[in-house]
Structures are given as C-alpha cells and as structure tokens.
Amino acid sequence: MTYMHESFVNQAMDGIMMQKTDFKIEVVVGDDFSTDRTLEIIKSYKNTESIDVKILKREKGDEYWRKRQKLGRLYNFTNILENCTGKYIALLDGDDYWTDPLKLQKQVDFLERNLDCSFCFTRATKVFVNQDKPDQVYPHELKKTIYSPKEYLDFTTTATCSLVFRNLKLTEGINFPVLEHSQGDFILYCHLLHYGNAGALNDVTCTYNKHEGGVSFNNSTKHNLFRRIKELKIEQHFFTSKEVKKAISKQYVIHINKYLKLYPQDKKRCDYLKTQRIRYNYYLKKEADKILKKLYRKAKSFLN
C-alpha cells in the first residue's frame, strides 16, 4: 500500500526482492494516486523467477476511484486484499521495509506447522524519522510462540509490516469485514482472531518508519484520539468473539482515560466521555452479576 512514498519505497522494494523462499511471491501494489515518483520507482524493479510485481491499475474517474471517494482511505487496503491470490498474505506499507531475507519463509513455515494460528507476527524496529528519539525494538520480548486472542490484544502494539496471515477468502470463502475505520490493521487483527490464535517469532524481521507523513504519526492528535474512541464503541458491537469484544472494551476505557488526562480543558467532550465510562462500568457490573448468579445456581444444584 503506497501513497507519496518516494523517499522510502526503494527500501520497501529492496526488502521484498531479497526474500529467499521455496514458493513464489506475488507483490500486489495498491497506490492511492501518488503525485510523486512512488510508482515510477516501483516500476523500475523487474520480475524474477520467484517474484511477480503486480501494480493495480487505477485512474481518476474509474470504479476504484469512485469507491475510494465513498469509502475513504481504508478502501485501498481492502481492495489490495481482494486482489491477493496466494494462500498467505504479508502486509507492507511503502514507507516500511523488511530486513530479514528469510522473513516470509520463516512465517509461512510456522503457519504450516501451527494450523491453530490464523496469523504470525514478529518483533520489529521502530525508527523515529527526523526525530530526536532512539530506535526501539518492539514488542520488547516475546515469551511465547502462540498467543490467544485475549493475550494478543493485550499487546500495546505490534508492527503491521511484520504480519503474515492466512488468506481466508481463498481458503474458507470468508471476506474481510467492511467497516468505516481509520485503522485497517486493527480491524484485520480482530477479524483474524475469530478464526485462530496469533503466532509469534522472536526474530526482528522488519522496520517501521514513524514519520510526519505517516498515518500513525497523525493518529496521536486530539481529533484522531476522539475519533478512535468512537470507532472502538462501534467495534464492541461489530465483532462476535467474546474475547475480542472484551479486549476492545478494555481499549475503549483506556482511550477514554487517555483523552480525559490529555485534554481536561475540552469540557464538553470530557463530560460526554465520563458518561460513557459510567455506562460501561455499569455494563461490566451487570455482566459480573450474571456470572455470579450462574455460579450460585450451579453450586446450589450441586449441594441439593
């Protein structure tokens, strides 16, 4: 997925072209109407015996363009997934890159061995481009190789560029959910966790560039934090897995508390969020009461 990435896309393509695998790789490029040299640079890379680069044809006024205007930035992401024909899919934005030539082979091998996992992630290096901050490797430590949905969603974050997952549309006929959203990767994780656990490799296989032009860089603003809270509220009712719903609810309260702490001067929104938090706590109490009543009935039945 690319947009105005001419400063980074060489590294992204080099990381792809150096992959050593015993299977063929299809590179599906979805460019969101860049006006810089992003596509020109990508086109300079030639196909090899094992790597086929497929650039999705898009023009202003065509069907993709019309849907993009209606559905927003996330449609680029979903449209790319719709055009992937392999058994597995790996994600890579044009401003990130892979550093391990065996990354894809290791993760595909892992998923072939562990059929209970719907995806596999690794550790990554976060680079703060043009910022006075040291690089960070995250997650800091992976103590297990398989995480349940709840355990995975307890992570603060993992790198999207580290992900390899099963193409459920190809193998199971399951489509990626369509939801107006600012974070397609989070929706993808929640979707995949309905169908399996998360696999983990402790290797550092990729680099995530955090820079001013990136989507995640701007997600830290006041407006985007409030938008994220509204999205989390919707997500609580969108997914069906109890573990996923519970993890989303936890993130909902965390984000509310973060907003209240950072922007106490925004009285109108803070009053609204406090009300939402009270309602959520009341909901939790009702759920806890239901569990206690069930346990009481079971205990009473056992004693009788």
Residue 188, token pair as written in the block: 């993808």
With the CA atoms of 229, 230, 231 and 233 taken in that order, what torsion angle do they form, in degrees rounded to the nearest 10? 90
Whole-angstrom distance, CA of residue 153 vs CA of residue 130: 30
Query: Which ranges constitute the DSSP H helices of 146-266?
Result: 149-153, 168-172, 184-192, 215-218, 222-238, 242-262
Other beta carbons within 10 Å of 165: 25
pLDDT of residue 51: 98
pLDDT tens for 159-216 read: 999 999 999 988 888 887 766 666 778 888 999 999 999 999 999 999 999 977 655 5
**Whole-Å CA distances, 256 to 172, 227, 253, 263:** 37, 11, 5, 11
pLDDT of residue 170: 83
> Residue 301 — very low, low, confident or very high, per pLDDT cuts 50/70/90?
low
**Which amino acid is residue 151, in one-letter code?**
E
Nearest to 196 by CA among 132, 121, 279, 105: 121
**25-29 and 51-55 strand pairing:** parallel
Q: Which CATH number fits domain 9-218: 3.40.1390.20, 3.40.50.300, 2.60.120.10, 3.90.550.10?
A: 3.90.550.10
| 138: helix, strand or coil | strand
Q: What's this model's pTM, rounded to 2 decimal places?
A: 0.84
pLDDT tens for 41-74 read: 999 999 999 999 999 999 999 999 999 998 888 8
Whole-angstrom distance, CA of residue 162 vs CA of residue 35: 28
Q: What is the DSSP letter of 54?
A: E
